[in-house]
Structure 1
Amino acid sequence: MRFVDAFIDKAYRYSLGVEEESATAYLSIPVGSSLIDYEEYYALSDEEYSGLLADSGAARLFAEQCRHRDHDDRLILKPGWNRGTPW
C-alpha cells in the first residue's frame, strides 16, 4: 500500500489523501504505542474526501471522531493487539 497525502494539517494533526493501489481516499491521524509511532488510515468515499478537502472544520471534526474511535469500521489497516493512542 502506498498512502499519498494531498493535504496535511499540522496544527490539528490529520492528513487527507489517496492510497494509490486501491484509489481509496482517506483521512489519517497520528497514533503512538510504547513500541512505535504510526498513522491510522480511515477510508472515505470520493464525495466525503472532496467535502473534507473543501471544509476544514468538517475535516477537523471527523479527525476528532477518529481519535475517539467512532469510525473504527473505516480503518483501512486493522490495528494489532498493541494499538496506539492518538496524539
Structure 2
Amino acid sequence: MKFNDTIVNTDERFTIGIEEVTGKFYVSIPVSNRLIDYDEYYEISEDSYELFLKNSSAALIFVERCRAREEDELLIFQPGADRGIAT
C-alpha cells in the first residue's frame, strides 16, 4: 500500500489522504508501543474525506474517536497483540 497524505496537521497530530493502490480515503494517527512508533490508518468515505478537508473541527472530532478506539472497525490494518497508544 502507498499512503499519500493530502493534509498533515502537525498541531493535532493526524493526516488525511488517499491510498494510491486501492483509492481508499483515510485518516491516520501516530501511536507508540513499548518497541516502536507507528501510524494507525482508518478508512473513511469520500464524503468524510471532503468534509474533513474543508472542516478541521469535524476531522478532529473523528480523530479523537480514533484515539479513544471508538472507530476500530475502520482500521485498515488490525493491530497486533502489543497495540500502541495514541500519542
Name the TM-score class by shorter chain.
Answer: over 0.9
Cα-to-partner distance string for 1:44-72 (whole Å, 9 max, x where unaligned): 11111000111000001110110000100
| Distance in 2 separating the partners of 1:18 and 1:80 | 24
Q: Aligned Cα RMSD in Å?
A: 0.5
Q: CA deviation at 1:3?
A: 0.7
Q: Which runs of 4+ in 1 moved over 2 A?
A: none
| Distance in 2 separating the partners of 1:8 and 1:66 | 16
Q: Indicate the residue corresponding to 1:12 in structure 2.
A: 12
Q: CA deviation at 1:27?
A: 0.4
Letter matched to residue 8 of structure 1:
V
Q: CA deviation at 1:5?
A: 0.4
Give the structure-1-normalised TM-score: 0.98
Q: Give the total of aligned pairs.
A: 87
Q: CA deviation at 1:73?
A: 0.1
Q: Which runs of 5 or more residues in structure 1 are unaligned?
A: none
